[in-house]
Amino acid sequence: MTVNKSSRDESKSDALDETLQELPNLEVTGKGINFDPIYLIDTWKEPVTKTKRITVAANLPSGVNKSDPTLCVTEDGMTLEITVTWPDPKINLEVLHQKSLQLSQEDSTRTFTMYHPAVLSLEDALNRKRPRANANVISTGNIPLSFPVQMQIDQKSNLHFKASAAKIVYIELKGISESYATVNDGDEFEEF
């Protein structure tokens, strides 16, 4: 049986589109796969300076290591971006489809191989997310902020809870000052 490359690519694209529509909280972009982070956020004011602050505790995706995540406040100061690298630069499609491959071996009426459209479409999707073969896949999650903050992260802690395997990044952001500092120390004018 001969398969026309363009029809194969078209069926792979259709299968990928259907798969991605079924996945909640994922948006495929040219940079990677964006995700909606799970997070807690609260605002507060420093008692003395009255500077507005935001505290964020974000649950990181599984497989994130200590070099991740990369945190960035957007130029307008209204969004915190969390960028993570997928755990394995060579996503193992055989492992991901292991159960289907095993069922196919046990049941001769099932025909699932590494050339199945599900495998080929996922391989194609992963390759489109990489700048080059075997490069890492990057995902970015955006957390909207309720007021503009400084671009520099004021405080960051990476927390790993071994019992649940949860990894949380704790972030404090400082608001942009809306007033100017004034000084009136009571000095008299000197006469010359």
- Residue 189 domain-assigned (yes or no): no
Q: Is residue 179 part of a domain?
A: no
Identity of the residue numbered 37: P
CA distances, 167 to each of 23, 62, 172, 183, 188 (Å): 23, 8, 17, 45, 57
pLDDT confidence band for 124 (50 / 70 / 90): confident
Output the domain CATH number for residue 165: 2.60.40.790
Count of the separate structural domains present in the chain: 1
Boundaries of domain holding 133:
5-174
Angle at 14 between CA 11 and CA 15, to 5 degrees: 85
Is 31 domain-assigned?
yes
pLDDT at 83 over 80: yes
Residue 17 pLDDT > 70: no
Q: pLDDT digits over 89-109, tens only? A: 446 777 777 788 777 777 777
| In the chain, % of residues over pLDDT 70 | 72
Domain assignment present for 109: yes
Q: Are 95 and 172 in contact (CB under 8 A)?
A: no
CA neighbor of 97 nearest in space, from 127, 120, 129: 120
| Inside any domain, residue 184 | no
Query: What are 51-82's pLDDT values in tens digits?
Result: 999 999 999 888 777 667 899 999 999 999 99
For the chain, how are helix, strand and coil distributed in percent, rounded to 5? 20, 30, 45
- Residue 135 domain flag: yes
Average pLDDT over residues 171-192: 70
32: in domain:
yes
